[in-house]
Amino acid sequence: MFFSIIVVCLNPGDKLKKTLDSIKQQSFRDYEIIIKDGISRDGSLDYVRKLAAQQEFKKQEQFEKDGKTTTVPVIRILEKKDTGIYDAMNQAVEEAAGAYVYFLNCGDCFYSEDVLKKMAEFIKEKENAGVPGIFYGNIFERLTRQQVISNPHIDAFGCYRNVPCHQACFYDTRLVKAHPFQTNYLVRADYEQFLWCFFKGSLRSSTAFYYTELMIADYEGGGFSETKENRKRSQKEHKEITRKYIPAGQLFKFKLIMCLTLAPLRTMIAENEKTAGIYNRLKKMLYLRR
């Protein structure tokens, strides 16, 4: 199994159908879908069960031990209570059989029908069996209707400032199993996990990061982490996490750089629908010059 695509939901309504239809349209088929549901009551899982029963969502696998073949489901539903989105993601990861894990939120979609095909080709070209990797690209942000370019060069300052969102990342499954999302962080657990991968690594080797200009996801935005209350929580958690991984002297330097480059103003420009396009074009030019 190449990919495990994880979709976490709780009473998602039609958003779940939209996301699953996006996966269904993919030209690359070597994947499983794990629906981690926190006991929904809105009937949204009925559509999932109909899909799972279809022949195209069943596949024949041969066991190496005895050479026998068996039919296995492509879609699996994990109905279980959880303490929040990161606990749900951890539960799903424990069930993942794919070599690489991808998290697709309800309401988000793959950008095109060839995303998995192109990413699989990219991973096969770049992967090193002895070094676990994160393979990432760009996203389309529906709120601003702009392409958001990820930082092609991951370094300590890049980790402090901004890392690719998880909708842009395909993780070596070994990484998320070795260091699950820390559920004491309600908004930034994916950020903490990314910094752990960069600064700590696992499996007796550092993590490798590979960037492609491929557009990965059509990102809905406006979710849990972007409420006014959770933006404040995000700042607090960012401070805690960066102190955990980055030395004090380096942190002071990074904070000074952010202050001198007017980081709050740049954030406002990036999130405004009228100015986001200019900002992202300039950001892309700067990234490509490095």
Give me the pLDDT at residue 204, please: 47
User: In degrees rounded to 5, what are phi and psi of residue 159?
Assistant: -65, -40
Q: Considering the entire predicted model, what is its pTM?
A: 0.87
220 pLDDT tier (thresholds 50, 70, 90): confident
Express each pLDDT in 156-182 by its tens digit.
999 998 899 999 999 999 999 999 999
Residue 71 has pLDDT above 70, yes or no: no
User: In degrees rounded to 5, what are phi and psi of residue 32?
Assistant: -125, 155
Q: Give the CATH architecture of domain 3-289.
A: Alpha-Beta Complex (3.90)
For the ranges 42-56, 79-93, 132-146, 275-289, the lowest mean pLDDT is seen at 275-289
Give me the pLDDT at residue 203, please: 47
- Helices 228-245 and 189-199: crossing angle, nearest 10°? 20
Taking only Cα atoms into account, the Rg of the chain, rounded to an integer number of angstroms, comes to 19
User: For 110-128, what is the mean pLDDT?
Assistant: 96
CA 125 – CA 141 distance, rounded (Å): 28
Which residues have C-beta within 8 Å of that of residue 125, sequence separation ≥ 6? none
**Count, residues in the chain:** 290
CB 9 within 8 Å of CB 16: yes
Give me the pLDDT at residue 145, please: 83
Looking up tokens 């088929």, which residue turns up?
A: 29
Residue 275 has pLDDT above 80, yes or no: no
Express each pLDDT in 237-254 by its tens digit.
999 999 999 999 999 999
Question: How much is the mean pLDDT over the chain?
Answer: 88
185 pLDDT tier (thresholds 50, 70, 90): very high
For the ranges 26-40, 218-232, 262-276, the lowest mean pLDDT is seen at 262-276
Give me the pLDDT at residue 56, please: 77
Domain boundaries, the chain: 3-289
